[in-house]
């Protein structure tokens, strides 16, 4: 009998790659989507349109406990991958209340429903390097104290603590992945990496003149989403624990822009302008992960390096802009 997996956030970057991975491993894949997504199929399902005949889509809400209960009792999943969240940091500054409400309650509802109705279900929580925020240690490990600098980071710390609490108190199989920045051609256009590669393609093709960016000096540990969803799956195949998932290498936003423009033979300095309005109210200056625990216990390591990641995204956006015209 096929294993059944439920993915929240299946229409997102990570959800789409994870669905592909689980299908390749013989799973029956189920995805939770907001009801509004079913009414705007073309725009909201673009990452999974090639999978719609291979997965099961369920309309529901992470903000409704009865909705979660109905879903879990109906599917009876062997594994739940909780990726669904309000994940765009800039939006978290603009709407703190919905970020806190959606991200914390959704995690709590899922864990409670598992405890009450499906205690054998394995649960994965998508943590974030944004939980470290104003870092206390370089590089960051599973033991580094959290100091979040946004309501998004705060909500992820709460989700991490809830996951650990349900694991310890009720002996549930719960894991958290503290994932550092991971990108791909499926990244949303609102994220800085995709904003850069999409703009590079448009500038190269004569459709745009300048690229406005905020803090070029912010440094991140960037990996590829394909590598990181494999780590998620590996976690649930082992004893429940928490893992930092990262590359262990750090680059600035400026480094990303420089490499992206160089991929099409352009000098980024001629096209990038600084817009102070794009700075965060409280900046996270530097994030760098140490994933040795994952390497040893999960036998996981990233296949994509920084240059290959950027090249993949730039080429995909060149193809996208040529095809779609925007």
Query: What string of DSSP letters covers 150-217?
Result: SHHHHHHHHHHHHHHHHHHHH---EEEEEEPPEE-TTS-TTSHHHHHHHHHHHHHTTS-S-EEES-TT
- Rounded Cα distance between 99 and 325, Å, is 33
Burial class of residue 323, CB neighbours in 10 A (0-12, 13-18, 19+):
exposed
Please say if the pLDDT value at position 99 is more than 90.
no
Which pLDDT score is estimated for 62?
A: 93
Which pLDDT score is estimated for 92?
A: 45
Please say if the pLDDT value at position 27 is more than 70.
yes
Which pLDDT score is estimated for 85?
A: 80
Query: What mean pLDDT comes out for the span 175-186?
Result: 98
Which pLDDT score is estimated for 87?
A: 55
Please say if the pLDDT value at position 298 is more than 90.
yes
The sign of the torsion formed by the CA atoms of 303, 311, 211, 98 equals negative
- Rounded Cα distance between 7 and 29, Å, is 8
Please say if the pLDDT value at position 82 is more than 60.
yes
Burial class of residue 241, CB neighbours in 10 A (0-12, 13-18, 19+):
middle
How would residue 133 be classed by pLDDT, with cut points 50, 70 and 90?
very high
Q: Which residues are catalytic?
A: 128, 130, 152
Which pLDDT score is estimated for 278?
A: 87
Please say if the pLDDT value at position 37 is more than 70.
no
How would residue 35 be classed by pLDDT, with cut points 50, 70 and 90?
low
For tokens 């817009």, the residue is 275
Which pLDDT score is estimated for 100?
A: 86
- Grouping H, G, I as helix, E, B as strand and the rest as coil, residue 128 is strand
| Vertex 209 angle, CA 204 and 210, to 5° | 105
CB atoms within 10 A of CB 143: 9
- Grouping H, G, I as helix, E, B as strand and the rest as coil, residue 38 is helix
Of 87, 96, 89, nearest to 214 by C-alpha is 89
Instruction: Please state, in angstroms and as integers, the Cα–Cα distance from residue 241 to each residue in 49, 87, 174, following that order.
Output: 33, 23, 7
Query: What mean pLDDT comes out for the span 214-228?
Result: 96
Of 60, 44, 47, nearest to 19 by C-alpha is 47
- Rounded Cα distance between 306 and 323, Å, is 26
Q: Phi, psi at residue 183, to the nearest 5°? A: -125, 180
Beta-carbon contacts of 238 under 8 Å, excluding residues fewer than 6 positions away, are: 297, 298
Please say if the pLDDT value at position 216 is more than 70.
yes
Homologous superfamily, domain 4-182+221-245: NAD(P)-binding Rossmann-like Domain (3.40.50.720)
Contact 205, 322 (CB under 8 A): yes
Domain assignments of the chain as residue spans, ordered by start? 4-182+221-245, 189-220+251-284+305-324
Share of the chain above pLDDT 70, in %: 94
Instruction: Please state, in angstroms and as integers, the Cα–Cα distance from residue 318 to each residue in 80, 260, 261, following that order.
Output: 35, 11, 12
The CATH number of domain 189-220+251-284+305-324, selected from 3.40.50.300, 3.40.50.1100, 3.90.25.10, 3.40.50.970: 3.90.25.10
168 against 36, higher pLDDT = 168
- Rounded Cα distance between 39 and 217, Å, is 40
Share of the chain above pLDDT 90, in %: 85
Whole-number mean pLDDT of the chain?
A: 93
Angle between helices 306-324 and 192-204 (to 10 degrees): 60
């Amino acid at each position: 009998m096929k294993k059944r997996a439920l993915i929240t956030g299946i229409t997102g970057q990570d959800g789409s790659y994870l669905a592909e991975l689980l299908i390749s491993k013989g799973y029956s894949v189920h995805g939770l989507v907001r009801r509004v997504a079913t009414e705007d199929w073309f725009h909201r399902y673009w990452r999974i349109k090639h999978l719609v005949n291979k997965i099961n889509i369920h309309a529901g809400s992470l903000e409704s406990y009865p909705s979660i209960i109905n879903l879990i009792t109906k599917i009876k999943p062997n594994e739940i991958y909780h990726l669904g969240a309000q994940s765009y940091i800039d939006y978290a500054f603009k709407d703190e209340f919905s970020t806190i409400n959606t991200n914390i309650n959704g995690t709590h509802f899922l864990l409670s429903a598992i405890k009450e109705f499906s205690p054998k279900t394995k649960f994965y929580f998508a943590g974030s390097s944004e939980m470290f925020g104003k870092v206390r240690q370089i590089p960051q490990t599973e033991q580094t104290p959290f100091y979040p600098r946004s309501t998004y980071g705060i909500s992820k710390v709460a989700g991490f603590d809830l996951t650990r609490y349900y694991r310890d108190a009720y002996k549930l199989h719960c894991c958290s992945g503290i994932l550092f920045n991971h990108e791909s051609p499926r990244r949303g256009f609102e994220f800085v990496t995709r904003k850069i590669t999409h703009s590079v393609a448009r500038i190269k093709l004569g459709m745009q003149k300048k690229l406005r960016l905020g803090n070029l000096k912010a440094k991140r540990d960037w990996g590829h989403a394909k590598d990181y969803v494999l780590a998620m799956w590996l976690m649930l195949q082992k004893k429940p624990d928490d893992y930092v998932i990262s590359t262990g290498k750090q680059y600035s936003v400026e480094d990303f822009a420089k490499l992206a423009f160089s991929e099409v033979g352009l000098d980024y300095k001629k096209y990038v302008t600084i817009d102070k309005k794009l700075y965060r109210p409280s900046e996270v200056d530097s994030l760098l992960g140490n994933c040795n625990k994952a390497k040893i216990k999960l036998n996981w390591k990233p296949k994509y390096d920084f240059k290959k990641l950027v090249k993949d995204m730039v080429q995909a956006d060149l193809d996208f802009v040529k095809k779609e015209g925007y």
